Amino acid sequence: MPKGPAEIHDRISIGGIKLSPELAQFSCSCPKNDPNFLTSLLQAIAGQQINIVYFSLTDAGDNFNLSFCIEAVHHPNVVGLFPHFDYQVSQVQHLDSVGTVTIFPHRNSLNLLGRVLATCGADNLSIFGLLTSISALSFTAPYSSLDDTVTKLTTLLDLPDNHAPFRPQSILVNMVETVAVYWEPVIRVYGIDIVKDVALLELTFRPEDCALLGQLLMQFKEEGRGFVMVLLETTATGNLRIYLALRQEVATRFHQQLENFTQKDYTLSARLTEQVEVLFFHGPHFQDRYGIVEALFRSVNQQEITLHLVGCTGTSVYLVVGDGEATRARDMLAGDFVVP
């Protein structure tokens, strides 16, 4: 049986943890055969100068599942947008008080990912979604639980002695801060990178098995080759589904370990897509400006590119696409995302 968090005595040194201001999170499905719904919704959000600070999209067969976060003050505005697209608000799950916990740097470590899942699972701390950027791991949780979550995590993580406050100073002193709305017609990026020879491992599990999966990840011998990208979502039935984009040899070994384990009494369901490619980029002001996600879906033709996953958080954007499609996706992005 894997060890629980209380039995893990070695600690991981990290650079820091940040907590977001209060956010609202929306989750829904949209049909693949009507890409206009997604692009029109994103255009409407950008048209109100609302910044999407967290966005995930997954391939669910005939539909895409999407989840995104905005500042909580904009929650009523976005709720009011859905009926304009013949989409009933009852079809949308929306939480009006969530926040993100961001841990950095992640160093692509499955061990660190495992500690987060094991700790939250063992202490019954809710996770609604999780994404990795180039350097950080962020997950959404009830806003009221963020402080308790950090307290639990720091039993397994070492912070620097001079660590800055977890929350922005303006929140700590209850100040009203003027936020500048940043926008420019051409989105500058620091290059667009492609990773090939990647496999996508999809795991579905009950929230009560979150600690179990975390423990398995902590004990897996990644041998210096961790994840390429990670995305976790809550399913419509309340289960959790995590997608691990891994180098193929890492995915094969971990999948074999899971198959041996899931033959026992646990409900970890695993599915492996052996050939995918990952495209990612980041740029200045991505956290501060609206319209990044809208420009992404305006650029990428969903009928020509197989979108397995899309994740936008921090200053990074990640796409997991079909084998051999990353170069074509990069060419599509070139009109809106420019390397100076």
How does 259-296 read in b/e, with b if 16+ C-beta sit within 10 Å? eebeeeeeebebebbeebbbbbbbbeebeebbbbbbbb
Task: Name the residue with tokens 């390397």.
Answer: 339
Find the angle CA(134)-CA(137)-CA(139) to the nearest 5 degrees. 135
pLDDT of residue 264: 60
| Segments in the chain below pLDDT 70 | 1-9, 87-90, 169-183, 262-267
Number of compact structural domains in the chain: 1
Q: Residue 61 is part of a domain; what is its CATH number?
A: 3.30.2130.10
Q: Quick check: 24 and 78 in contact, CB under 8 A?
A: yes
217: in domain: yes
Task: Name the residue with tokens 């959000």.
Answer: 45
169: in domain: no
How far are the Cα atoms of 23, 154, 201, 260, 271 from residue 264, in angstroms, in the given order?
Answer: 39, 32, 20, 8, 17
The encoded tokens of residue 30 equal: 């949209």
Say how far apart CA 299 and CA 79 lie, in whole Å: 26
pLDDT of residue 179: 47
Q: Is the pTM of this model over 0.85?
A: yes
138: in domain: yes
170: in domain: no
DSSP result, 139-192 = EEEEGGGHHHHHHHHTTTEEPPTTPPPSS-HHHHTT-------B--SSEE-S-E
- The helix (H) or strand (E) run that includes residue 62 is none
200: in domain: yes
pLDDT of residue 225: 81
pLDDT digit string, tens, across residues 127-140: 999 999 999 999 99
Domain of 207, in residue numbers:
12-161+178-340
80: in domain: yes
Alpha helices per DSSP H over the chain: 35-47, 75-79, 110-122, 146-153, 169-172, 210-219, 248-262, 292-299, 326-333
Cα 277 from chain centroid (whole Å): 17
pLDDT of residue 64: 94
Say how far apart CA 135 and CA 61 lie, in whole Å: 30
DSSP result, 307-322 = EEEEEEETTEEEEEEE
- Report the relative pairing of strands 240-247 and 192-205 from DSSP bridges: antiparallel
Total residue count of the chain as it appears in this document: 340
- The helix (H) or strand (E) run that includes residue 102 is strand 93-104
